[in-house]
Structure 1
Amino acid sequence: MSEHILKATGRSVEGKGASRRLRHAASIPAIVYGGKSAPQAIQLDHEKIWLAQQNEWFYSSILSLDIDGKVESVLLRDMQRHPFKQIIMHLDFQRVDANQALRVKVPLHFLNQEKSPAGKTAGIVILHELNEVEISCLPKDLPEFIEVDLAALKIGDIVHLSELKLPKGVEIPELKQGKEHDIAVVIAKHGKEEVEAPAEEGSAEVPAAKVSKKDEK
């Protein structure tokens, strides 16, 4: 687990007017809650957070929040953005208890898709039905992402949640709810099937012959 430090300052004045003044001063109003301590209003530098939020770890990693020199372990739980401007309006952070299991959504990284039998076959569409998955684990076991190795993916294959290789101490709560919750993560099928059975809205189609190099990372 990598350490990502964010610097913040406590604030005593709250309300819409105070938050508006903070934003005009290039700061972000935020709150830290949870654990045995009372909720605390804080502010962060907008430019630094804007850069940080462009990284995947910002959303799925435990963050070290330095508030006036006192460091707390937190998770980002909510981010409010301006509807059309590049402005972060508000952030919610939850304190992390080292001895209490977390439920967090982490991204999936798809590997070796281009090298797979399905990826090398023309006319095959590889669908990423999920791009993230909710896991449960102790803070010390929280991964920044989960790798999905598609090197052996063949035409007609379906990779389900239960087939994901999870790090030690990590589990998928949804799988405890029954076999019907063991949903598809990746599907490899003939492209012509799209005409007969359109993909559900939100699924990501990745033509095998046009896979981005990003999938190799």
Structure 2
Amino acid sequence: MKSLTIKGSKRESVGKSATKALRNAGKVPCVVYGGDETVHFSAYETEFQNLIYTPDVFRVVLELEGGETIDCALQDIQFHPVTDQILHIDFYQLFDGTPISMTIPVRVSGNARGVKNGGVLRIINRRLRVRALPKNLPDFIDVDITNMKIGDVYTVGDVKTEDFEFLQDDKEVICQVRTSRTAIVDEADEDEDDEDEEGAEGDTEGAAEGAENTEAPAEE
């Protein structure tokens, strides 16, 4: 997982007036949970630009005044409903030996066979919840759709993973290729159907010949 450093300072007062003063100064009040004690700190809003306005997930190294550092991950963020100003951010402290649950973005790669034939790719889940040790958390979940035909679905169970586990059911659909009015028949599928039909015709002819051979001889 990518790492991002944020510089901040601890705040002693957490009252409404102190919080309002921080925001007026262009700072964001923040909290880090999950450790031996809750850490209240603030940082300038510009510190969070690369953390928030991106689909990527980061491991945050929080550098506080006095040389203290805390490894953490973004847990929750609150925006002003009108101005979109960042009002508050919650972080969760990370420990190397303790698993953590996080939402990881899905990255679709490849050009689906069914889309080439006129089908439509529909992405159902763009982010998935996983659980793993901090060092094993992926930057993204890769979904290769190259071999997907019209009617195929790609589920959570189709993703190969060793270092982390999904918190969704294996049958949860990530994406699917749906048919459309412009869709054409896949040649490979058509060939398979033709072989099946030829086999069926051969069986029918053989059965007919067998029936003819069982007819009684005509009387002389």
User: TM-score, normalised on structure 2?
Assistant: 0.77
Contact preservation (8 Å) 1:61, 1:143? no
What percent of counterpart residues are identical?
24
Give the unaligned 5+ runs of structure 2: 182-220
Q: What's 1:143 paired with?
A: 138
1:61 matched to 2:58? The reply is: yes
Contact preservation (8 Å) 1:50, 1:88? no
Contact preservation (8 Å) 1:27, 1:43? yes
Contact preservation (8 Å) 2:128, 2:168? no
Structure-1 separation of matches of 2:146 and 2:38: 47
Equivalence map 1:102-141=2 (5 Å): 102-112=100-110, 115-122=111-118, 124-141=119-136
Equivalence map 1:74-93=2 (5 Å): 74-93=72-91
User: After superposition, what is the alpha-carbon deviation per residue over 1:132-160, rounded to whole angstroms, capped at 9, x for unaligned?
Assistant: 11111111101111110111111010111
Give the unaligned 5+ runs of structure 1: 176-180, 193-217
1:174 matched to 2:172? The reply is: no
1:163 matched to 2:158? The reply is: yes
1:190 matched to 2:179? The reply is: yes
Q: What's 1:46 paired with?
A: 45
Structure-1 separation of matches of 2:132 and 2:105: 15
Equivalence map 1:12-51=2 (5 Å): 12-36=12-36, 38-51=37-50
Contact preservation (8 Å) 1:159, 1:185? yes
Contact preservation (8 Å) 2:108, 2:143? yes
DSSP-derived class of the 1:44 partner: strand
DSSP-derived class of the 2:97 partner: coil
Q: What's 1:100 paired with?
A: 98
Structure-2 separation of matches of 1:162 and 1:39: 37
DSSP-derived class of the 1:119 partner: helix
Q: What's 1:153 paired with?
A: 148
TM-fit CA distance, 1:3: 2.1
Contact preservation (8 Å) 2:120, 2:179? yes
DSSP-derived class of the 2:168 partner: helix
Q: CA RMSD for the aligned pairs?
A: 1.5
TM-fit CA distance, 1:51: 4.1
Structure-2 separation of matches of 1:143 and 1:104: 10
TM-fit CA distance, 1:103: 1.0
Structure-2 separation of matches of 1:119 and 1:63: 39
Stretches of 4+ moved more than 3 A in 1? none
TM-fit CA distance, 1:125: 1.8
Please tell me the residue identity of whatever aligns with 2:54. N
Structure-1 separation of matches of 2:126 and 2:2: 22
